[in-house]
Amino acid sequence: MTQIHWSHKGELLLQKRRNTPKELTDSIPQYISSDMPQQHADFFAGLSYLPLATLDQQGRPWVSLLVTRSDHDPTVGIKVLGGNTTDVIAQTNPYDPFARALQQVPASAGEARLFAGVGVDFSNRRRNKIAGSIADASVDETGKVQLRLLSDQHLGNCPKYITVRNLAPTRRLAQLSYDSFEGNASVLPAEAKAVVDRASTVFLATKHTAQGNTNGTQTDMGVNHRGGAPGFTRIYEETDGDAVTTYLVLPDHSGNRFYQSLGNIETDPQVGLVFPDFATGDVFYVTGEAENLLDDDAEALMPRTGLLTRVKVTGALLIKAALNLELTSGEQLSPYNPPVKLLRRELEQMGRVPSDDAEAISATLVSTQALSDNIKTFNFKLSTPISALLPGGFGIFDFSGLLDRGYSHMNEANPQLVNEDFVRTWTLSSTPRIDPNTKTFRSSDHVSITVKRKPGGLMSNVLHDNADQFIANNLPVAFKGTGAGFTCFSGGSDGMPLTLPPKMLWIAGGVGVTPFMAMWDGILELAKANPDQVSTDIVLLFAGRDDDINVLRHFGSQHGTLPDHVTLRILALQSVSGSASIARSTRDGLRDTISDSILKIEERRMGIDDIRSVADLSEREVFMCGPDGLMNRSETMLTELEVEETRRHRETFVF
Ligand SMILES: Cc1cc2nc3c(=O)[nH]c(=O)nc-3n(C[C@H](O)[C@H](O)[C@H](O)COP(=O)(O)OP(=O)(O)OC[C@H]3O[C@@H](n4cnc5c(N)ncnc54)[C@H](O)[C@@H]3O)c2cc1C
Position 359 pLDDT exceeds 60: no
More confident residue, 172 or 29: 172
Average pLDDT, the chain: 91
Q: Phi and psi of 85, rounded to 5°?
A: -110, 130
State the distance from the centre of ligand 1 to the C-alpha of 421, rounded, in angstroms. Answer: 11
Least confident of 19-23, 31-35, 232-236, 494-498: 19-23
The pLDDT of residue 356 = 56
Residue 451 burial class via C-beta count within 10 angstroms: exposed 0-12, middle 13-18, buried 19 and up: buried
Radius of gyration in angstroms for the set of CA atoms belonging to the chain, rounded to a whole number: 29
Give the Cα separation of 276 and 336 in Å (integer).
Answer: 21
**Nearest to 425, CA basis, from 520, 357, 371, 347:** 347
> Atom 39 in ligand 1: which residue has the minimum CA distance?
420
The pLDDT of residue 158 = 83
Of the candidates 346, 371, 400, which is a domain's last residue?
346
Q: Is 48's C-beta closer than 6 angstroms to any atom of ligand 1?
A: no
- 435 and 316 both lie in a single domain: no
- 305 and 372 both lie in a single domain: no
The pLDDT of residue 630 = 94
More confident residue, 185 or 152: 152
Report the atom number in ligand 1 closest to the C-alpha of 352: 1
**Strand order of the sheet with strand 423-427?**
423-427, 394-398, 476-483, 361-370, 375-386, 444-452
**Nearest to 125, CA basis, from 74, 166, 180, 84:** 166
- 356 and 287 both lie in a single domain: no
> Atom 32 in ligand 1: which residue has the minimum CA distance?
457
Give the Cα separation of 39 and 33 in Å (integer).
Answer: 12
- 408 and 304 both lie in a single domain: no
- 325 and 430 both lie in a single domain: no
Residue 424 contacts residue 399 (beta carbons within 8 Å): yes
For residues 141-163, average pLDDT: 93
Report the atom number in ligand 1 closest to the C-alpha of 420: 41
The pLDDT of residue 482 = 84
Report the atom number in ligand 1 closest to the C-alpha of 483: 1
pLDDT in tens, 241-269: 989 999 999 999 988 888 999 999 999 99
Give the Cα separation of 131 and 589 in Å (integer).
Answer: 70
| Tally of domains within the chain | 2
Domain membership of residue 82 as a residue range: 2-346
Residue 25 burial class via C-beta count within 10 angstroms: exposed 0-12, middle 13-18, buried 19 and up: middle
Share of the chain above pLDDT 90, in %: 73
Position 99 pLDDT exceeds 90: yes
Least confident of 98-107, 193-202, 351-360, 551-560: 351-360
- 153 and 191 both lie in a single domain: yes
Q: Is 338's C-beta closer than 6 angstroms to any atom of ligand 1?
A: yes
**Nearest to 332, CA basis, from 482, 175, 124:** 124
- 334 and 415 both lie in a single domain: no
The pLDDT of residue 213 = 52
More confident residue, 533 or 307: 307
Give the Cα separation of 556 and 583 in Å (integer).
Answer: 19
Of the candidates 320, 346, 372, which is a domain's last residue?
346
Of the candidates 346, 370, 402, which is a domain's last residue?
346
Q: Is 460's C-beta closer than 6 angstroms to any atom of ligand 1?
A: yes
The pLDDT of residue 401 = 84
Q: How many CB atoms lie within 10 A of CB 550?
A: 19
**Nearest to 542, CA basis, from 515, 560, 561:** 515
Position 562 pLDDT exceeds 50: yes
Position 355 pLDDT exceeds 70: no
The pLDDT of residue 370 = 95
Looking at this protein, which amino acid is placed at residue 41? A
- 337 and 368 both lie in a single domain: no
Q: Is 294's C-beta closer than 6 angstroms to any atom of ligand 1?
A: no
- 191 and 107 both lie in a single domain: yes
pLDDT in tens, 282-298: 999 999 999 999 999 99
CATH number of the structural domain spanning residue 532? 3.40.50.80
**Nearest to 164, CA basis, from 123, 127, 198:** 123
State the distance from the centre of ligand 1 to the C-alpha of 426, rounded, in angstroms. Answer: 7
- 329 and 413 both lie in a single domain: no
Q: Phi and psi of 534, rounded to 5°?
A: -120, 120
Q: What is the DSSP string of 204-270?
A: EEEEEEEEEETTEEEEEEEEEEEE-STT-SEEEEEEETTEEEEEEEEEPPP--S--HHHHHHHH--E
Position 214 pLDDT exceeds 70: no
* Length of the chain measured in residues: 655
For residues 637-644, average pLDDT: 96
> Atom 24 in ligand 1: which residue has the minimum CA distance?
457
Position 216 confidence tier, pLDDT thresholds 50, 70, 90: low
**Nearest to 338, CA basis, from 458, 164, 484, 193:** 458
- 641 and 566 both lie in a single domain: yes
Position 358 pLDDT exceeds 50: no
For residues 368-383, average pLDDT: 96
For residues 104-120, average pLDDT: 88
Position 129 pLDDT exceeds 60: yes
Q: Is 452's C-beta closer than 6 angstroms to any atom of ligand 1?
A: yes
Position 559 confidence tier, pLDDT thresholds 50, 70, 90: low
Position 65 pLDDT exceeds 80: yes
For residues 390-404, average pLDDT: 88
> Atom 53 in ligand 1: which residue has the minimum CA distance?
653
pLDDT in tens, 457-475: 889 999 999 999 999 999 9
- 381 and 466 both lie in a single domain: yes
